[in-house]
């Protein structure tokens, strides 16, 4: 077994609403029963409609290279599974990731002071809400190509090829449209938690692309959140990384994901 090997452990957990769901825990290949090292752990919520195992594949062998664990949950929204869009129950579940990991793999040793969050697209949206609601649990976080204004996102669905379907799904999951249920959309929008994020003390990376054709007009999504955080707290430990990649192209072990992990202190490049 080489130093770059990983092993993927499927586990079952009880998500919000008492729904049984699957998660995948990525570990260095030599970590198993009897292993004594305490590992940092990263919770990585998936993007919209993405199966958790597809999210696992984005990480490649990085957990072995950096000696950390990654928790990739299936998730559960208010009504839907792969389209949770920042449902508060899903955020609560993400906050339990390190506990779920050791409850389902009792031999796994986790460094509770090194709990991180990293996700892209919808997963980035949920990372930001996790920072807002559970800042004391997190050592650092990164949100890539994220939705920060869910009402604007609903309106922007109109320009996507599958926009009508996405609007139906959002209406079902959130419980109406931005016009009929504005509070529901506000509660899932990190921009409305900008003050909490700005003063959370959590080192945060915000990544976005000027060429994103999925979460369009990122200047009004991640860019707007970054500007608001700095306006509220110029000393906030937030950094931005702006490029021109395709949507979520940077969140791969073969592209820029290693750089995000290096900024977190999880990987030496």
The mean pLDDT value for 28-52 works out to 96
CATH code, domain carrying 106: 3.40.50.1820
- Give the 3-state DSSP-derived string for the chain, with helices as H, strands as E and coil as C: CCCCCEEEEEEEEEECCCEEEEEEEEEECCCCCCCCCCEEEEECCCCCCCCHHHHHHCCCCHHHHHCCEEEEECCCCCCCCCCCCCCHHHHHHHHCHHHHHHHHCCCCCEEEEEEEEEEECHHHHHHHHHHHHCHHHCCEEEEECCCCCHHHHHHHHHHCCCHHHHHHHHHHHHCCCCCCCHHHHHHCCHHHHHHHHHCCCCCEEEEEECCCCCCCCHHHCHHHHHHHHHHHCCCCCEEEEEECCCCCCCCCCCCCHHHHHHHHCCCCC
Average pLDDT estimate for 23-44: 96
Over 50: is that where the pLDDT of 2 sits? no
Stretch 60-69: mean pLDDT: 97
Please indicate, yes or no, if residue 197 is contained in any of the structural domains: yes
**pLDDT in the model for residue 3:** 45
Residue 170 covered by a domain: no
Quote the pLDDT of residue 246: 97
Domain containing residue 90: 6-147+185-264
pLDDT tops 50 at residue 264: yes
Tens of pLDDT, residue by residue over 212-243, are 999 999 999 999 999 999 999 999 999 999 99
pLDDT at 1 over 80: no
pLDDT score for 269: 85
Half-sphere exposure of 86 (CA within 13 A, CB side): 32
pLDDT attached to residue 4 = 67
Q: What average pLDDT score do residues 240-260 get?
A: 98
109-142 confidence digits (pLDDT tens): 999 999 999 999 999 999 999 999 999 999 999 9
In a domain, 161, yes or no: no
Total structural domains within the chain = 1
Q: Is residue 37 part of a domain?
A: yes
Predicted model pTM: 0.97
Mean of the per-residue pLDDT values of the chain: 97
């Amino acid at each position: 077994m080489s130093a770059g090997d990983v092993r993927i452990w499927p586990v079952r957990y009880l998500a919000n609403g008492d729904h049984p769901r699957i998660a995948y825990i990525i570990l260095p290949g030599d970590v198993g029963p009897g292993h004594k090292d305490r590992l940092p752990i990263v919770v990585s919520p998936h993007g919209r409609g993405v199966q958790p195992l597809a999210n696992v594949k984005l990480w490649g062998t990085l957990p072995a290279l950096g000696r950390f664990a990654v928790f990739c949950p299936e998730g559960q929204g208010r009504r839907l599974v792969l389209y949770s869009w920042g449902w508060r129950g899903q955020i609560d579940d993400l906050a339990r990731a390190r506990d779920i990991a050791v409850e389902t793999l009792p031999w796994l040793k986790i460094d509770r002071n090194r709990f991180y969050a990293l996700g892209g697209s919808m997963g980035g949206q949920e990372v930001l809400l996790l920072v807002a609601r559970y800042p004391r649990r997190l050592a650092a976080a990164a949100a890539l190509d994220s939705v920060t204004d869910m009402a604007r996102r609903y309106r922007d669905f109109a320009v996507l090829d599958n926009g009508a379907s996405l609007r139906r799904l959002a209406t079902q999951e959130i419980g109406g449209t931005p016009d009929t249920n504005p509070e529901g959309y506000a509660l899932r929008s990190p921009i409305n938690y900008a003050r909490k994020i700005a003063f959370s003390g959590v080192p945060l990376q915000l990544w976005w692309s000027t060429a994103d054709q999925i979460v369009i007009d990122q200047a009004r999504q991640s860019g707007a959140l970054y500007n608001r955080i700095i306006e509220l707290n110029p000393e906030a430990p937030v950094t931005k990384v702006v490029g021109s990649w395709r949507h979520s192209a940077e969140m791969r072990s073969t592209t820029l994901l290693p750089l995000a992990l290096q900024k977190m202190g999880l990987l030496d490049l």
